Structure 1
Amino acid sequence: MGWFWADEAAVKPSESHKHVLAGSKDTGATCPIDHSQFTRHRRQSDTQVAPSAQPAATGKCPVDHDDMDSINPLNMMPRLSQQQISAQQGVPLPTEREISSIPKAPAAEGASRWEYPSAQQLYNAMVRKGFEQSGEHVESMLSVHNFLNEGAWNEILTWEKERDAQAEPFLRRFTGRPATPSPKAWMVVNLMGGAPPFDRHDWYVARQDGSEARYVIDYYEGPDEEGMASVYFLDIRPALDSPGAAFQRISRWTSETWTKAKGEHGRTE
């Protein structure tokens, strides 16, 4: 999910989004990232995108660790060209890159922001992993991908401001861990019989006081409803790395439980 390029850019950030997010079935939009085994079944559109049009499920990390000179160490993403690299590409793809709303440096240092890949870069990344189709769905894939990341950051900001109303955190780095279920995801699957998340990320958030907080993000796909757009649910919470994080999670759970018990509406998602 969390593909960013860490280049500098002084561009107005994009608008933030909610963290319960819908993709379009009409475009076959789904997250293009195949971090590892990705047991998730991919959503098909009403017009049916052929299975071969999806990135190959290789069971491997998308980062080519044998070619580390071409890897950005901040996000472990390949430094990919904006040029067309595959003869299979049948449509021109934009090379413009959207600036996220997610800061990667303190506000005092100019608050530079993480930058998403262009559609051409994303297509090239998929080609490296065996994608052999023309690329007509790449732009919609990228749109959903960016939307999910904006929603994730929005929810992290909510957590941070519950801790400190004046908080101005920034995303220092992140890592994909799809093959390592979080304890909560493990319980959802093994104790509650739920579907597993199709991806997991750990985001490392830096605070103004110099401390760092790790956030766990589990990505779930909502149930299929005929005629409805695909929905993706992001379960975002501080990792239980400190007593403070545990207290914060317990406090929110207690507050939301009490609110529901009184018949009131809780936080709007």
Structure 2
Amino acid sequence: MPTALITGATAGLGAAFARRLAADAFSLVLVARDESRLARFADQLKLRYGVGVEVLPADLATEDGLAAVEARLGDGVDLLVNNAGFGHPGRFPEVPMADEVRMLKLHCEAVLRLTLAALPSMRRRGRGAIVNVASVAAFFPRGTYSASKAWVVNFSESANADLGNPRIRIMALCPGFVRTEFHQRAAMDTSGIPGFLWLKADDVVRAAMRDLALGKSVSVPDPRYKAIVAVGRYVPRGVQAMVSARIGR
């Protein structure tokens, strides 16, 4: 039975990945900060899908949390989903420096280190996959969040190309606005976001797994967002920034 490790696993896209992979008969390793919530979710998955579920409480913005998950990945997994992340309610440079550094540690350092920790066992077996959750925001200028997600996209594409092994895939997943706890946790006002731009987490995961099977290094779920990214390539960066600021992160 294959094993998948998912960070940020108790809500939103992380929980949707857990449900999908459990339905596909993966054993799961769930990583998040809230131990009691992890345990409750693990019990639900075991009961519904009959798969093995291991919980690993860890804060990936800390050295101890990162080290614990690196150690678990050293034992080997078939699929790693780097999903943990958060957003800031304020604009740069209003956000405190400590919060900015925490975001970069979680979005960039954790993705780098966990990817590197997962790869040795995958290379020994000659197979495996890593999904690094980025965002459509990666293609548009919008503060540290967009910048960190742009790094995730570039890193994933570069790492996938450097591996040169079609049986080991690294893919950046770039969804748009998804109905999750993300914006609420960040205390963001989403009233200005048009209703047609919202996606369902389960639909995003379904598209991600399809694109991963197809060997894509970047997945932009949903035709609406594919069109937005395509058009954005021809719009001046200053105009992108203005529109992005008006609609939201």
For the criterion TM > 0.5, the same-fold answer is: no
User: Which one scores higher on RCO, CA 8 angstroms, separation ≥ 6?
Assistant: 1
- TM-score normalised by length of structure 2: 0.31
Q: Which has the higher strand share?
A: 1
| Bigger Rg, structure 1 or 2 | 1
